[in-house]
Structure 1
Amino acid sequence: MPAPSQLTIATSSVLRLLKEEITYHKELVDQEAKIKILEEKINSGAVASDENQEFMLKQERTAAEQTKAVFGPLKQKVEDAVTRLEEQIALKEAEGGPEAEIEQAKAVLGQAKAAIN
C-alpha cells in the first residue's frame, strides 16, 4: 500500500483540527451551563452554605478559562494547516494529481475557511 500523499496528509490535518475546535466549543458550552446551574443553586440558597459547591464553582470557572485559552493557539494551528493545504492543492494541480483527491481537499479547504470566518 503506497504512503498517503502530502495533499492527503494536509487534508486530514485540517479536518482533525476543525473537529478539535468543534469539540472545544462543545466543551465550553457544557462548562458554562454547569457554571450557571451552580451559580443559581448558590444564589438561591438551595445548598445551605455548602462549601463544596463554592469549590466546584471555582473549579468549573477555572476549567472554562483554560478551555477559552486553547482557542487562540488552535486558531493559529488551523490557519497554518490551511496555508499548507492551499500550497499542496496548488502543487497537485500543477502536477496534474488525482482529481478526486484535489476536489476533496478543496471541499475541506472551504469548510476551514468558513470556520475561520
Structure 2
Amino acid sequence: MLNLDSDKSIYIQIAEIIENDILSGNLMEEEQAPSTNEFAKVYNINPSTARKGLNILVDEGILYKKRGIGMFVTPNGRKKILKKRQDKFFKERLPEIIKEAERLEIDREKIIGYIKRIEEGQND
C-alpha cells in the first residue's frame, strides 16, 4: 500500500510493492507485473512516477520488458530481491539493532532466547 505521507519517494514505494509481491508469491517468475497505468489508476498517481519505480526493478534485473506487452518477473528475480534485502538487513538494520541492544544492556543470550521464543510462537 502506498503511503503518500511517507518520506520515502512514491516510485521507491512502487518498486517495494512489487518486490513484496514477488517475495510473498503473489507475483511469480515469468508472470506479468502490473502496468504503469494500473498503478496510476489504483493509487491515483502519475504514470511516469509508476514507470520510474518499475524501471528501478528493470535496472536491477528483477523485471524485464517485453515490447508492446509489459514487464515480467525475471527467472531469478526473487533470488535477487532476497540477496539485496538480506545484504541491507546485515549491513544497515542489524548493526542498529545490536547498538540499541547494547544501550539497553540486553545481552546476546537474552536476544537469542527471545528469538527462539518468537519462532516457537511464545512471544511474551
- Fold shared, TM-score > 0.5 on shorter chain: no
Which structure exhibits the higher relative contact order, with contacts defined as CA atoms closer than 8 Å and separated by 6 or more residues? 1
Quick check: which one's helix share is greater?
A: 1
Quick check: which one's strand share is greater?
A: 2
